[in-house]
Amino acid sequence: MLQIKDTLVSLDLLERSFACDLSACKGICCVEGDAGAPLEASEVACLEEALPAVWNELSPSARHVISSEGVAYRDVTGELVTSIVDGKDCVFTCYDADNVCLCSLEKAFGEGRIRFRKPISCRLYPVRVKDYGAYKSVNYNRWRICRCAEALGERSGTPLYRFLGSALIDKFGREWYEELELIASEWLRAEGRK
């Protein structure tokens, strides 16, 4: 672990390679799991505000869940998460013609229809941030469904922290990220990788 300001960062962010391979995984990270995506409290209002722009792209089941339960709930640990359909899909998923799971929010953001891209936990995935009061831990959540992304990251030479650069900047700030880059450069040089 390394410390940057009030965060403890796993060395996996420096040492592991990663690059999403949507053609291989089909977006399964938005389907698999035992709860929805973690949310910051302020993001619930953003989801509700974006909802009209993506409503018609959501499945009838997702629309039913949102209408009856809302866009978010508290999971068994008390964490605020996006609502899910039948214990699987995030309510904001949609599918393309090739049955690839996409995020309706990110799609609408890319098309300029909304200002909220998607929850920061989704943008940071496969990294998870846990708040412990005085500090936050920043860890790589390794999961079998992302093996293809690890392989693509290896082939392309993309370290995990660089793949997530813009999301890390949005979460922790540019100064934090620049410090991470400096540490990564020194760490990898010392390890003989650069």
Distance CA 12, CA 40 (A): 24
Of the three residues 81, 99, 123, the one that is the final residue of a domain is 123
pLDDT digits (tens, 9 = 90+) for 6-27: 999 999 999 999 999 988 888 8
**Cβ atoms within 10 Å of 19's Cβ, excluding its own:** 19
pLDDT digits (tens, 9 = 90+) for 34-62: 789 999 999 999 999 999 999 999 999 99
- Structure confidence at residue 69 as a pLDDT band (50, 70, 90): very high
- The pLDDT mean for the chain works out to 93
Same domain, 97 and 183: no
Looking at residue 193, its pLDDT comes to: 57
Same domain, 50 and 106: yes
| pLDDT over 90 (residue 71) | yes
Distance CA 173, CA 40 (A): 16
Looking at residue 61, its pLDDT comes to: 96
Of the three residues 108, 123, 138, the one that is the final residue of a domain is 123
| pLDDT over 90 (residue 145) | no
Same domain, 111 and 81: yes
In this prediction, residues 64-78 reach a mean pLDDT of: 95
Same domain, 146 and 93: no
Distance CA 180, CA 174 (A): 10
| pLDDT over 60 (residue 180) | yes
Of the three residues 123, 142, 162, the one that is the final residue of a domain is 123
Judging by beta carbons within 10 Å of its beta carbon (0-12, 13-18, 19+), is residue 56 exposed, middle or buried? exposed
In this prediction, residues 141-152 reach a mean pLDDT of: 91
Are the C-beta atoms of residues 91 and 83 closer than 8 Å to each other?
Answer: yes
Distance CA 148, CA 70 (A): 33
Give me the number of domains the chain comprises: 2
Same domain, 119 and 50: yes
Same domain, 138 and 99: no
Same domain, 131 and 119: no
Looking at residue 192, its pLDDT comes to: 66
Are the C-beta atoms of residues 126 and 38 closer than 8 Å to each other?
Answer: no
Distance CA 104, CA 158 (A): 26
Same domain, 57 and 102: yes
Same domain, 91 and 137: no
Same domain, 148 and 111: no
Same domain, 30 and 119: yes
Same domain, 62 and 101: yes
pLDDT digits (tens, 9 = 90+) for 75-105: 999 999 999 999 889 999 999 999 999 999 9
Structure tokens at 6: 């009030």
**Domain of residue 190, residue span:** 1-18+126-194
